[in-house]
Amino acid sequence: MSTKSDFGWAIPIMRAGYAGRALVYLVVAGFSLWAVSRGGEAQGTTSAFKSLESTAGGNVVLVAIFLGMVSYAVWRIIDSIFDLEDYGTDGEGMVARAGMIVTGLIHLGIGFAAVTLIFAGGGGEGDQSAISKGVTTVLGWPGGRWIVGAVGLITIGSALYYLKKAWKREYRKVLMGNPVTRNFDPALRGGVASQGFVVGVIGCLIVYAAVTFSGDQAGGMGEAFDWLRGQPYGRVLVGLLCAGLLGFALFCAVNAAYRIVPKARQESIDSLASRMTEKAKSV
- Measure the CA–CA gap between 26 and 225, rounded to whole angstroms: 16
Residue 3 lies inside a defined structural domain of this protein: no
pLDDT reading at 164 higher than 80: yes
- Measure the CA–CA gap between 51 and 28, rounded to whole angstroms: 10
DSSP 3-state of 75? helix
Residue 4 lies inside a defined structural domain of this protein: no
Residue 1 lies inside a defined structural domain of this protein: no
Residue 266 lies inside a defined structural domain of this protein: yes
pLDDT tens digits for 68-93? 999 999 999 999 999 998 888 888 78
pLDDT reading at 30 higher than 90: yes
Mean pLDDT along residues 42-65: 91
Residue 26 lies inside a defined structural domain of this protein: yes
Which stretches within 38-183 are classed as H helix? 45-53, 58-82, 91-120, 130-139, 144-168, 179-183
pLDDT confidence band for 134 (50 / 70 / 90): confident
The residue among 39, 32, 49 whose CA lies nearest residue 241 is 32
Residue 199 lies inside a defined structural domain of this protein: yes
Mean pLDDT, the chain, whole residue set: 88
pLDDT confidence band for 274 (50 / 70 / 90): confident
pLDDT tens digits for 197-209? 999 999 999 999 9
CB-based contact 45:28 (threshold 8 Å): yes
User: What is the maximum span of the chain, computed from C-alpha positions, in angstroms?
Assistant: 61
CB-based contact 50:62 (threshold 8 Å): no
Residue 102 lies inside a defined structural domain of this protein: yes
E strand or H helix that includes residue 25:
helix 10-37
Residue 282 lies inside a defined structural domain of this protein: no
> Which domain does 252 fall in, by range?
9-275
Q: Domain total for the chain?
A: 1
How much helix, strand and coil, in percent to the nearest 5, is found in the chain? 75, 0, 20
